[in-house]
Structures are given as C-alpha cells and as structure tokens.
Structure 1
C-alpha cells in the first residue's frame, strides 16, 4: 500500500485518527452503520450487540492493516 490510512499513536497502543480520506470514509461508514443498527434494532440487544462488535472489530482490523507502522506500546519517544 502506497499511503497509510491511519497513523500509529505517539503515546499508547494502536492507531489514532485517520490521516487519509479512505480512513475517514471507513470511520464514517462505521458510524452510519451503528446509527442505522441502533435505530432498526431498538429493543433487540443481542442482534445489536453482534452488529456493534463485528463492525468495531472490522474497523480495528482495517486500521491495523493500513497503519503506517507496527502497533506497539509507545511512550512518546522517537522510534
């Protein structure tokens, strides 16, 4: 991949906010799916939980695969 969609955090573990438009589209689609699921699945906690968990795991996986560096604990120092 030529350009990363997410940058790794300077402090902590994982990725932060997107640094490319593709990452923002992923987050917007995730938010839209959560809003639609909560509206359509009101009163049905199990299906809603399944949608929330699988969607969130999908976004985490995409962020992990499209980050600019490996995920590890960072304390703010130089790599």
Structure 2
C-alpha cells in the first residue's frame, strides 16, 4: 500500500480491477451521494421522457466524478488476482 490507511476511502478490489465499497465515513458519503443523485436523475426522466440524452450525459458526468474521487482517494487500481505471494 502506498498511502496511509487513513487516506484511503476506497480499497482496491481483491480480484479484478477497480475499487470496492468504502471503508471510511467520507467514502460512504461520496458513494451514497452518487446513489441519491442517480435516483434523482431517474425521477426526472420519469416525468419527461424526452430528457433521455441529457440523463445519459448526467450519469456519465456523475460516474466520472465518482471514478475521479475513487482514483484520488483510493488504493492504486491494478489487475489483481488474490493475495500476492
């Protein structure tokens, strides 16, 4: 691990690439905010079906922001397959 445990909000996945569920309260706030904002976007799309393209752009931007935060506050993401020997 290259960062202190206190600095890591999102640990790397044990298998595969990417990050797992948050391990700090800050990470949980970010993760739950992402979920709530996505649900709000879905509620708007239900009211106006012609907002499909703006909704897709909204989700892409929202996901990009989440990935950026995971990249900055998470462990180094690399392809892993269990524990290192």
Aligned partner of 1:72 in structure 2 is 78
TM-score normalized by the length of structure 2: 0.83
**Deviation readout 1:23-78 (Å, 9 max, x if unpaired):** 110111111111111112331100110111110111011011101x3111001022
Q: Give the CA RMSD over aligned residues.
A: 1.6
Relative to total residues, which structure has the larger helix share, 1 or 2?
2
Distance 2:23 2:65 in 1: 18
Tell which structure's C-alpha radius of gyration is larger: 2
Moved over 2 A (4+): none
Count of residue pairs brought into register by the alignment: 78
Higher strand share: 1
Structure 1: gaps of 5 or more residues: none
